[in-house]
Amino acid sequence: MVTLEEDERQAASARNQDTMRGLPPDIEDARGPHLALMHTHRLAVVGKLSASIAHEINQPLGAIMSNADAAKLLLAQSDPNLDEVRLILKDIITDCVRASEVVRQVRTLANKRQPELPEIDLQDLLRGILHLASPIAARRGVTILTDFGSQELRVYGDAVLLRQAILNLLLNAMDELDGVPQEAAIIELGANLSRAGEVEITVRDHGNGFPEPQLPQLFEAFFTTKSQGLGLGLTIVRSIVEYHNGRVTAENHPAGGALFRMSIPTAFPGGTSKPSEDQMI
Amino acid sequence: MSKDAPAIVHIIDDDESLRTALGRLLGAVGLRTRTYSGAGDFLLNWHDDGAGCILLDVEMPGGPSGPELHQALTQRSDALPVVFLTGHGNIDMGVHAMKFGAVDFLTKPVQRDALLGAVEEAIARDRARRDAQVKDRDLQADYDSLSPRECEVFKQIIAGRLNKQIAYDLGTSERTIKAHRAHVMEKFHVHRFVDLIKIANRLHLE
């Protein structure tokens, strides 16, 4: 019990020093601070995003409004062009979907969720992810090469969130490889224990990489390099990794392509004793 | 291009769906529209082919913003009036835009009446500017048609000097000055002294 609680508090204070400082440690139960912080952290992200969210929603709403106005005017004509009106209605529906997708994405950040941080082995998680990602990659003419080593990669993690984060990086990498000849369309997915007592997961594509000035912006909300992208994927990835007290970075690989590194502290830095099951709450 | 041809609204917005929707709405009320995906697209493809205005998005990622384009356009004598559209406007942005002469600053989603009202006013402003430019050109042509002597007399008249004072200065007779004066009035197509003063003002002569 003690180990996990301490760990959680450390993570909590690192994430949210201002609100946590001075709070008596025994005021919340073991899971309490995490839930509150997780939610506060997400709400803070949403708060920072509010202007962008307003923009992303008002854009389709504006199109819906003007389309509807145009349709009204067209229908008032003596011989209305119904084909045009049908086209307008189709576009209105498309924009409704677009607006609701933004809302859905935002809700994944804003919603209260019951996160769980049991000890998990990322080897298992990564194999599960490949199960999902490999068929998608194959359909898109992309090969995923893996190098997970043979060690156990134990972290305290929410499998649902981590799966979402890693999948997001893989799907981005596949997008980067669009238009690259099949023999060169390769993603390298790696996982290893770093010297610093962290598990490092790397996703490297062999695409064109990013213009250097874009690298620091990649994790910003609504920053996107894709014509259809919402620009929230990497923001959510970062939010998830930070929730695990880790960090994620983007760089260009010297030999070409983009390289994302995701580091998460191991469950037992230094390989100290493993807690028994009843210590896991 | 006849003065009464439908005006052209140049819609600049990075969002294709919104561009299309605005184009449909403005088209449905009888305006002509051109759409551009950004400031660069507009600068490359715009040519002055009639009265109109610009409907300009504020936020356009990956290029100059709406206000940046607007500021650049205000340097030109043939700049079209601008109506701003924004997804999340703030007061600073709006004040800044109005200071630089924007016609209006509207928030998406925009109400039809507000949009059409602003666009109409912008077009009216552009027509007024074009009319004034034509008048100025005609006036300048009239002025250029004055002989050097008539020009001198014109300047003295509007400085408030009497015919006989002018005659004395130029070493000629009052009758000659009266004849010059009549020619000046004729060339400017006016009959009263006060109209000459107005013309001098328009020509920025003192």
CATH architecture of the domain covering B8-138: 3-Layer(aba) Sandwich (3.40)
A–B interface: beta-carbon pairs under 8 A: 76
Same-domain check for residues A102 and A123: no
Pick the range with the lowest mean pLDDT from A24-28, A30-34, B143-147: A24-28
Residue A44 structural domain:
1-115
pLDDT digits (tens, 9 = 90+) for B129-186: 999 999 999 999 999 999 999 999 999 999 999 999 999 999 999 999 999 999 999 9
3-state SS class at A48: helix
Q: How far is A51 from chain B (nearest CA, A)?
A: 6
Interface pTM, i.e. ipTM: 0.75
- Note the pLDDT of residue A229: 61
pLDDT band with cut points at 50, 70 and 90 for residue A113:
low
Write out the residues of chain B at the interface with chain A, using a CB-CB cutoff of 8 A.
15, 17-18, 20-22, 24-25, 27-29, 59, 61, 85, 87-88, 107-112, 115
Q: Is residue A4 part of a domain?
A: yes
Same-domain check for residues A253 and A131: yes
Q: Is residue A280 part of a domain?
A: no
Q: Is residue A164 part of a domain?
A: yes
Structure tokens at B96: 């800044």
Other beta carbons less than 10 A from residue A198's beta carbon:
20
**What topology is assigned to B145-202 in CATH?**
Arc Repressor Mutant, subunit A (1.10.10)
Task: Break chain B into its structural domains and give their ranges.
Answer: 8-138, 145-202
Same-domain check for residues A89 and A220: no
Chain A residues whose CB is inside 8 A of the B112 CB are 65-66, 69
State the burial class of residue A189 (Cβ atoms within 10 Å of its Cβ: 0-12, 13-18, 19+): buried
pLDDT digits (tens, 9 = 90+) for B33-63: 999 999 999 999 998 889 999 999 987 765 7
What's the DSSP call for residue B76? Answer: S
- The CATH number that applies at residue A200 is 3.30.565.10
- Which of A96, A115, A134 terminates a domain? The answer is A115
Same-domain check for residues A162 and A239: yes
**Rounded mean pLDDT of A191-206?**
91
Q: Is residue A108 part of a domain?
A: yes
Partner-chain residue, chosen from A58, A64, A65, that has the shortest CB–CB distance to B87: A58
C-alpha dihedral sign at B101, B102, B103, B106 = negative
pLDDT digits (tens, 9 = 90+) for A59-70: 899 999 999 999
State the burial class of residue A38 (Cβ atoms within 10 Å of its Cβ: 0-12, 13-18, 19+): buried
pLDDT digits (tens, 9 = 90+) for A114-157: 667 889 999 988 987 887 777 678 767 889 999 998 888 999 99
Nearest CA in chain B to A98: B17
Q: Is residue A136 part of a domain?
A: yes
3-state SS class at A279: helix
- Which of A115, A148, A165 terminates a domain? The answer is A115
CB within 8 Å of A109: residues ≥ 6 apart: A42, A45, A46, A49, A232, A236, A239
Write out the residues of chain A at the interface with chain B, using a CB-CB cutoff of 8 A.
51, 54-56, 58-67, 69-70, 73-74, 84, 88, 91, 94-95, 98, 223
Q: Residue type for B51, please?
A: A
pLDDT band with cut points at 50, 70 and 90 for residue A183:
confident
Separation CA B170–CA B176 (nearest Å): 10
- Note the pLDDT of residue A57: 86
Q: Residue type for A267, please?
A: A
pTM higher than 0.80: no
